Amino acid sequence: MEYLTADKGKDEGGCIFCAYAAAPPEQDRGHLLLWRGAHAFIIMNLYPYNNGHLMVVPYQHTADLTALDPETNAEMMVLLQRCIPLLKAAMNPHGYNIGMNLGAVAGAGIADHVHMHIVPRWGGDTNFMSVVGQTRVLPELLSTTYDKLRAYIDQTWGK
């Protein structure tokens, strides 16, 4: 219901990614922000396609992928690479969809701030609910998934 009634990607204070990045780290769990790097961060998707749907987001607010500096590009790729073993250890998916939607017409829910998606996939994770009901069934609360992923990060990446 939250997804159906929400004004997705719109925040009265501006960009939700910028707002979450600017918030104090004590609010990271509530914002589903998992990791803060020097140039980019990892956040869970509030409206996930599947459990464990992550996004790698640069701090720089831009819709233009080509406007990102080399350091930001490099860190985004490193964080993307770190997400694979993170998801593997915490959730054991069978595969991943990884990509970017650049522009609203390409499907970007937050078109004014570039970000990469990492969606874990399992055999049979698409069923009649998606096809007939145009809805997703998530077997785990976002907060439970966050805690699993955060525990792995704390154990293996450090704080």
Q: Could you give the CA distance from residue 145 to residue 134 in angstroms, rounded to a whole number?
A: 23
Q: How many CB atoms lie within 10 A of CB 92?
A: 9
The residue type at 126: T
CA-based angle 88:127:83, to the nearest 5?
A: 20
Q: Which of 39, 53, 113, 115 is catalytic?
A: 115
Q: Could you give the CA distance from residue 104 to residue 45 in angstroms, rounded to a whole number?
A: 17
The question of whether 115 is a catalytic residue gets the answer yes
Give me the active site residues, please: 115
